[in-house]
Structure 1
Amino acid sequence: MKQAVLQNERVSVQLKPMVDLAKKAGLLKTRRHRIQSAQNGGYVSRFKGRGMEFDEVRLYQAGDDIRSIDWRVTARTNKTHSKIFREERERPIFISVDLRPTMNFATRGVFKSVQASKVAALVAWAAQLNGDRVGGQVFNQHGCQELKPANGRSAVLHFLNALVKPTLSITESFSLEQILNRLMQHARPGSLVYIVSDFRGLNNHVEKQLSKLAKHCELQLVHIYDPLESYLPSRGCYRFTNGKQETVLDTGDNQRVLAYQQHFKNRQQQLTTLCKKWRISLLECSTVDDPYEVLS
């Protein structure tokens, strides 16, 4: 019985394991600056002005951003003044989680969908413990469900329940570009936005949406992958199934193996280049990694 429960937790998103992560997330609470400013990724994100609160006006000083000049006060006093801002104490955390069919896969560890949900749960609990509002987006190939950021444990539980049983706006097909377009409409400027996905379907249109989002929010990408996606096993024939169809993969063809590995490297490089260009933070998380270690 216990073995069956553990097996279910490895292949399907379950509420209890995500609730249990609240205790572990408490250890991330002391790392608030690192989590919220996304210092733990490959690239450091810029903090956007919309996430700041007006504090005061003072005389312009050399080095001040000209976009911060208060033109009304400047015109009234005949002396250039700058607006001074301070970081908002309470910052919305918006977590977008990919549950498309490609996430229902793993050769070891847990399914990518389960790993993505664990990452999201840890971020949500840590944010709640820090007093931040938590909301998010759950999506698959048919649609998405958005949850408005709110305070408290109930907001996190509402989000976790959506991961287990999302209420989706069912359509025939829903592309990653359309999903990000919806995310743009729901994530408040200045929010810290996590996107947890395998990023299948990444193309120029998706990159454009991500660049737009990065201009208004702190953006953290968490790339979920299975080790088999990065390299094929040693020479032999391997059977794969999705429960309905089967396929046999022969890894004896060296050219095919190299082409397969290069395809994964190309997608990784595409993500890395995108993040470097727009100063987006990027984390890599495989299906065998400890999500807590990845975030901390």
Structure 2
Amino acid sequence: MRIIFMGSPDFAVPTLQALVDAAHEVVCAYTQPPRPGGRRGKELTKTAVHERAERLGIEVRHPASLKSAEEQEKFAALEADIAVVAAYGLILPQAILDTPRLGCLNVHASLLPDWRGAAPIHRSIMAGDEVTGVTIMQMEAGLDTGPMLATVRTPVEDKTTGELTEELAELGAQLMVGTLIDLEALHAVEQDHEAATHAKKIDKAEARIDWSRPAEEVVRQIHGLSPFPGAWSELDGARVKFLRAEVSEGSGEVGTVLDDDLAIACGEGAIRPVRLQRAGKPAMDRDEFLRGNAVGQGARFS
């Protein structure tokens, strides 16, 4: 097929690569514009899709919007059979959705209608879901409301958002390739809109740990926000990010360190960090963290 690919972050790269490996003709890659980043924010940083597409010799376009007639005419001139979308970052106008002969298919990182929206992986982990997955959806004007063509499932277990994102990216890539092979034979299934949940964008204010919550919820918060933005608390006025943790035994005043191996009391039970990061320092496992930071019984995270 002649395919227009639309995606931006690391999550989208495996799908782009899989389409190329499957011998589809990716005629253009649309992505978010380069943003200030790098050293002191002065250098423009290309998206992960931009960089991979250039290495693959694919034309890259990064318009700030697709609403103008000029951009829509450029899109139509590509004469694509289909557009494949994975975490692109822009709402597609109806004119764009209607242009490819077979429409636009989206790789969405949840089992729709659960977790429509910007942060499905974070929200799934933080909510305590046992299973998540990827849905291939025929796109329409609504936010992740289109009919579903295929799904794949995987257990959440104790994975962080970073780990689960990598897994779902690979699963979604293979699912999309398989969907395109069987596209004419597949029957799209409408979503149960009344059962939908919304995965709103992560607010940095959600990252501060509330030690009065049960230990299980604190661990889910830590894993759901790892590696970014990173759940955090302060110790002696310095911010510490928690990147992985486990539920532990013990009880005491919330936020208080209960032993010399860094068990921390919660509203119910306790957690024990597995991986942490002090402000301005690299991430490290608990043992290494304790060797460089004297945090003994009775210390308190605020």
Question: Greater helix share, 1 or 2?
Answer: 1
The structure with the greater share of residues assigned to strand is 2
Same structural fold, with TM-score higher than 0.5 when normalized by the shorter chain: no
- TM-score, length-normalised on structure 1? 0.32
